[in-house]
């Protein structure tokens, strides 16, 4: 059904505005010759205008030859391609070509997941079961925070895996952490100052800035974010990833964690956003306890996502709000609809509840450990071995590789690209100055195909040492 806006029609009458909208679509080729126009009654109902208005617009279009009518069949678009001297180009011809994604032999920057690792057969089986068992529930609008089954499944998972005791009601489901950041800003206030780690994942600061809030960049040391600099920044909210910092790989020790909690406790307006983006994939020892699990002052907003653990294209994330913020959330933001479909929520809930998620995590942890070990072995066997130092290889799905070279970081990235490799350097993640970070490459291995690793390291050796 054709739809037009009547919000800004100026001095035009309703019928004349509608006439111009249809005429413009015909001239631009959006309405092709022979296209059947909507009936006057259904068109009027869809546009929330009177049938007379549609009738008058159609009459004017017929008088000028843009449409014609057939008895008992309706109105149709006339073929005017041979009657106008200057043809208006369809809009699609004026739209710039969309950006094309460059193809690389090996991408050490992407956090994508290999399609071969996704449990398609199990996921499809559960989807069929959901269609059969939840057909009625699938058509019911979910609560703002997400369906109860998924929130219960996540709460149980957090208790068993992360030692977190949270109520399902504290969990808010959203389509990606980026969307949830926006909710947090609205919840806590645009007047608040947000702080991010420097270096850090650049997109986080960009999201805060695009939402119109002030953002401060706080340096980190070997233990995590600097408390002294955080205090001096006058920030109200700090966004950190204490269990595995990106890109340095630092794990914040317990003493610094209590210092961060102490900072937050000094003011009612202070909160900590704990980004636990890849906590499942610590490859040595037990997972690091979350900051939220030792927070007794309700100062931590815990966030996680399934993009790392399942697939980068599954846009299901969640946050755990402190209990005292729930009433404020629902009174202020309860009008929002949940941005994840019922179908996906019920499927994921059953995937977790029936034990498939735990099995998948265990399988992927073994896969990534083998993936990492293969890369490290290939580096050891390559000419790079006597020129590089490996750091933070046990914390998550990337590690740092420092190389002895006179090349600048820009030259390293450029040379790698010429060899079909996409890499990044630690210095690129600093907002302020980056002392002593030159020649440190970030090796993200989650999306690398195993059969390409050996050649990828050979190519890397060639561009770094030649």
pLDDT, position 101 = 61
Please compute the mean of the pLDDT values over residues 225-234 and round it to a whole number.
96
Give pLDDT tens digits for 148-162: 999 999 999 999 888
* Alpha carbons 178 and 273: distance in angstroms, whole number: 13
3.60.150.10, 3.40.50.300, 3.20.20.210, 1.10.10.10: CATH of 14-77: 1.10.10.10
> Which segment of 11-15, 45-49, 207-211 scores lowest on mean pLDDT?
11-15
Give pLDDT tens digits for 196-221: 999 999 899 999 999 999 999 999 99
Please compute the mean of the pLDDT values over residues 43-63 and round it to a whole number.
88
1.20.1440.130, 3.40.640.10, 1.10.3720.10, 3.40.50.1110: CATH of 116-359: 3.40.640.10
Tell me the pLDDT band of 284, cut-offs 50, 70 and 90.
low
* Alpha carbons 10 and 92: distance in angstroms, whole number: 27
> Does the pLDDT at position 435 exceed 80?
no
360-465: same fold as 116-359? no
Q: What percent of the chain has pLDDT over 70?
A: 94
Q: CA distances (Å), 316 to each of 119, 128, 213, 228, in order?
A: 16, 20, 25, 35
Instruction: Report phi then psi at 389, rounded to 5.
Output: -125, 130
Q: Give the residue extent of every domain in the chain.
A: 14-77, 116-359, 360-465
Q: What is the mean pLDDT of the chain?
A: 89
> Does the pLDDT at position 93 exceed 60?
no
Instruction: Report phi then psi at 172, rounded to 5.
Output: -120, 125
* Alpha carbons 202 and 142: distance in angstroms, whole number: 33
We find that the CATH architecture of domain 360-465 is Alpha-Beta Complex (3.90)
* Alpha carbons 300 and 26: distance in angstroms, whole number: 56
Give pLDDT tens digits for 187-198: 999 999 999 999
pLDDT, position 300 = 97
pLDDT, position 266 = 97
pLDDT, position 139 = 93
> Does the pLDDT at position 96 exceed 60?
no
pLDDT, position 438 = 81
Please compute the mean of the pLDDT values over residues 163-181 and round it to a whole number.
95
> Does the pLDDT at position 339 exceed 50?
yes
* Alpha carbons 300 and 176: distance in angstroms, whole number: 19
pLDDT, position 161 = 87
Please compute the mean of the pLDDT values over residues 214-234 and round it to a whole number.
95
Asked whether the bond before 225 is cis by omega within 30 degrees of 0, the reply is no
Spatial neighbors of 270 by CB under 8 A, at least 6 apart, are 236, 237, 263, 264, 299
Please compute the mean of the pLDDT values over residues 104-128 and round it to a whole number.
89
HSE-CB of 338 using CA atoms within 13 angstroms = 25
Give pLDDT tens digits for 299-329: 999 999 998 888 878 889 999 999 999 999 9
pLDDT, position 98 = 46
> Which segment of 69-78, 126-135, 454-463 scores lowest on mean pLDDT?
69-78
* Alpha carbons 236 and 242: distance in angstroms, whole number: 18
> Does the pLDDT at position 286 exceed 90?
no
Please compute the mean of the pLDDT values over residues 14-24 and round it to a whole number.
89
Q: 222: which DSSP letter?
A: T
How far apart, in Å, do the first and last CA atoms of the chain sit?
A: 63
């Amino acid at each position: 059904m054709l739809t037009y806006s009547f919000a800004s029609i100026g001095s035009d009458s309703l019928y004349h505005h509608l006439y111009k909208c249809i005429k413009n679509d015909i001239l631009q080729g959006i309405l092709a010759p022979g296209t059947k126009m909507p009936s006057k009654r259904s068109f009027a109902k869809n546009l929330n205008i009177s049938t007379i208005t549609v009738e008058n617009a159609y009459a004017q279009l017929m008088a000028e030859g843009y449409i014609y009518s057939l008895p008992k069949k309706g109105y149709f678009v006339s073929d005017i391609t041979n009657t106008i001297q200057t043809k208006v180009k369809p809009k699609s011809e004026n739209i710039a070509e969309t950006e094309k994604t460059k193809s690389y032999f090996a991408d050490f920057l992407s956090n994508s997941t290999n399609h071969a690792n996704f449990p398609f057969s199990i996921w499809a089986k559960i989807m069929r079961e959901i269609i059969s068992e939840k057909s009625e529930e699938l058509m019911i609008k979910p609560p703002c925070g997400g369906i109860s089954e998924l929130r219960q499944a996540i709460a149980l998972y957090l208790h068993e895996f992360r030692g977190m005791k949270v109520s399902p009601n504290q969990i808010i489901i959203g389509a990606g952490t980026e969307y949830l950041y926006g909710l947090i800003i609205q919840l806590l206030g645009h007047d608040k100052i947000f702080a991010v780690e420097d270096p850090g994942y650049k997109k986080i600061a960009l999201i805060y800035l695009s939402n119109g809030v002030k953002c401060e960049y706080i340096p980190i040391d070997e233990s995590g974010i600097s408390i002294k600099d955080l205090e001096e920044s006058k920030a109200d909210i700090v966004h950190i990833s204490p269990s595995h910092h990106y890109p340095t790989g630092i794990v914040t020790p317990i003493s610094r964690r209590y210092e961060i909690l102490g900072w937050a406790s000094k003011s009612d307006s202070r909160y900590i956003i704990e980004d636990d983006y890849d906590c499942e994939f610590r490859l040595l020892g037990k997972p690091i306890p979350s900051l939220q699990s030792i927070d007794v002052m309700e100062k931590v907003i815990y966030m996680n996502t399934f993009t790392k653990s399942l697939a980068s294209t599954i846009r299901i994330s969640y946050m755990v709000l402190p209990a005292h913020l729930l009433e404020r959330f629902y009174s202020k933001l309860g009008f929002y609809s949940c941005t994840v479909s019922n179908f996906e929520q019920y499927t994921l809930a059953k995937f977790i509840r029936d034990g498939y998620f735990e099995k998948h995590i265990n399988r992927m942890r073994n896969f990534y450990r083998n993936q990492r070990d293969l890369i490290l072995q290939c580096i050891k066997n390559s000419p790079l071995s006597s020129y590089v130092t490996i750091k933070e290889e046990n914390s998550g799905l990337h590690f740092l590789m420092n190389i002895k070279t006179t090349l600048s970081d820009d030259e390293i990235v450029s040379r790698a690209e010429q060899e079909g490799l996409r890499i990044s350097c630690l210095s690129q993640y600093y907002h302020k100055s980056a002392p002593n970070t030159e020649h440190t490459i970030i090796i993200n291995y989650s999306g690398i195909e195993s059969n390409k690793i050996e050649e990828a390291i050979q190519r890397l050796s060639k561009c770094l040492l030649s």
